[in-house]
Amino acid sequence: MSHYESQVREPLIKGHKTYHDISNDIARPIESKSGKLWWTAFGIAFVAFLVGVGCIAYTVGTGIGVWGLNRTINWAWDITNFVWWVGIGHAGTLISAVLLLFRQKWRMSVNRSAEAMTIFAVVQAALFPVIHMGRPWLMYWVFPIPNQFGSLWPNFNSPLLWDVFAISTYFSVSVVFWYIGLIPDFALIRDRATKPFAKKVYGILSFGWGGKAKHWQRFEEISLVLAGLCTPLVFSVHTIVSFDFATSVIKGWHSTVYPPYFVAGAIFSGFAMVQTLLGVLRKVFHYEAYITRKHIEYMNIVIVVTGGMVAVAYLTELWIAWYSGSRYEDFTYFSPGAATGPYWWAFWALIICNVLIPGLLWFRPIRRNFFWTFIISIVVNVGMWFERFDIIVINLSRDYLPSSWTMFMPTFVDVGIFVGTNGFFFVLYLLYARTFPVLPQAELKTILKSSGESYKKHHTEDEHHEH
Amino acid sequence: MTNTKIVYGLYGDDDDLLKAVKSIRKQGITIDEVYTPFPVHGLDKALGLKKTRISDIAFFYGLFGTTLASTMTWFIMNHDWAQDIGGKPSFSWGQNMPAFVPIMFELTVFCAAHFMSWTYLFRNKLYPGAAPQNPDPRTTDDKFMIEIHTTDVEKIKNVFVETGAEEVTLKGDYIQPNVNNLVQEEA
């Protein structure tokens, strides 16, 4: 009776699972050997990763001139990819922190993988601020470290320095939040392990966790406080990323709508990436009982809501560009100068991928369909890449002085580094999926009796008996 | 040596555990520890645990971060090298404060989150390579265990059996823990 939940809600754990079944399902991928599919995927990702390593080494060894940048368009694929990866990372924190604050129980079977995605995506993002420097070996000069130059400090007025603080705080806090949640799950794997090596490794990783009552009490408190801290953090990080553009004097960039609009876009693309990854994960790991159609639908609703916010921002940009009366704003990426300019194809790719196709998620049969969800999630990420490309490149290519107008063409090094970060991301993600508990056992077990399918049925039968 | 012994009662369900905890405490018996695979709602209340103060200290860690960031930006930007960078007023900290807000915010969150996490690990005695704190490996899977330190072992054993324990064991007395188990059929 204490576990009563409205029958209106669809069950979040399907089938007749017990606590022990949940443990078994979570431990299975860790305790079994990798199959052909995993090795193939890992091989492809690793090759892509090596391509990226090669291109980065070439860039650093030769100079930034091997990229397609020019004196007008001095930010292009580097920062596009940086913002893209940071944006992808945001859904993880959103799922684990914001949805925790809102007591959304459906986040439980999604959050672990989403947080892993956050961390691996932020790793990719963090590469770009370093490798796009002309002298990356002097990177440590951005930190306020007392030094022999009379103590020469960084300039705290620059959003690029704020970025350093934002990204490093975001990364480190996300890792800690993720890890503290993992400790009880590592303890489960440790206590099941039969091989001495695995027992040793998970023994170290689980920090000696024993599930004492007081420890759980503190665990729940710290999870809640970390969620409370991560929520403003996730909003601030992408806000600060948007300041890179919004605090400039470039037309099309100096817009006050950027902070919320970038955050909405980040959630939009982040959730799309979660959909792409979970769409595969639930099939390969046979997690259909935990990542149900309802989970996919919930995430699609978030995508359609944030996609709507992004669309409103596009319209705002267009309206303000016209309403400002500034002739320069005519080249804002959503204005006639861009829609019909030389980058018209990038502009229309954005509109099609971010506004029109995700609009299909308004239809219930589509947002509850695994196949279409998977396709749309990929389309959204393509669209969000174009959004950043458009913001950066279109606005830079046609600036205040017509004598500086130019076009941008990426080189194979630009492309290679982007491919490399995708490879690196999947290398990390694939290794994670084989060694980490990808579903949080401790959290799922707390909702089994309230939201498990068999328990919910049980309650209805009880009521029939009483009447 | 005292003849205090440690008795463990193993339960198969969180609802049974909660009922058992309440009933044992009603009999005036002190429960020394409870091990569960997941946070059981209401267990801390049933055990009479005090509210944790970890979030209170996090607030002060956060304040430390804000102070650190304010002092650092003032020292570097206004005191040590009060330069004109792009026309930003560097005569006083207040004049250029908006540019320092992102740093102040991030350092507040950084200090609050990290120091609180370190406090959490320290207070729980969790560190890489620590010995598992749970006496039975099944308590991280699907079993729930109550630990009682007593001089009257028989009484506690009976209390466990009466409250529906699946298995009752005495620490250290048996080579094989299952030899003296009192297995209780489902009530």
Which pLDDT belongs to residue B173? 55
Which pLDDT belongs to residue B58? 93
Alpha-carbon span A141 to A121, nearest angstrom: 25
Contact A304, A367 (CB under 8 A): yes
Contact B50, B151 (CB under 8 A): no
Greatest CA separation for chain B? 82
For residue A446, pLDDT beyond 70: yes
Residue pLDDT, tens place only, A352-391:
999 999 999 999 999 999 999 999 999 999 999 999 999 9
Average pLDDT value for residue range A308-319 = 90
Which residue(s) pair with B167 in the sheet?
B10
**In this complex, do B102 and A166 lie within 8 Å of one another by their Cβ atoms?**
yes
Residue A180 corresponds to which tokens in the numbers above? 């503290």
Which pLDDT belongs to residue B114? 95
- CB interface of B with A, residues 53-112, below 8 Å: 54-55, 58, 72-73, 76-77, 80-81, 85-86, 88, 96, 99-100, 102-103, 105-107, 109-110, 112
Q: Is the ipTM of this complex over 0.85?
A: yes
Taking Cα atoms as reference points, which of B58, B60, B125 lies closest to residue A173?
B58
Strand ranges across the sheet with B5-11: B33-35, B144-150, B5-11, B167-170
Which pLDDT belongs to residue B163? 85
Which pLDDT belongs to residue A194? 86
pTM (2 d.p.) = 0.90
Nearest-CA residue of chain B relative to A202? B129
Average pLDDT value for residue range A95-116 = 89
Residue pLDDT, tens place only, A90-104:
888 888 888 889 988
Residue pLDDT, tens place only, A192-236:
888 889 889 999 999 999 989 899 999 999 999 999 999 999 999
Residue A245 corresponds to which tokens in the numbers above? 């553009």
Average pLDDT value for residue range A434-458 = 83
- CB interface of A with B, residues 158-197, below 8 Å: 159, 161-162, 165-166, 169, 172-173, 176-177, 180, 183-184, 187-188, 190-192
For residue A44, pLDDT beyond 80: yes
**In this complex, do A442 and B110 lie within 8 Å of one another by their Cβ atoms?**
no
Average pLDDT value for residue range A117-130 = 94
Average pLDDT value for residue range B14-19 = 87
How would you class A195 by CB atoms within 10 Å of its CB: exposed for 0-12, middle for 13-18, buried for 19 or more?
Answer: exposed
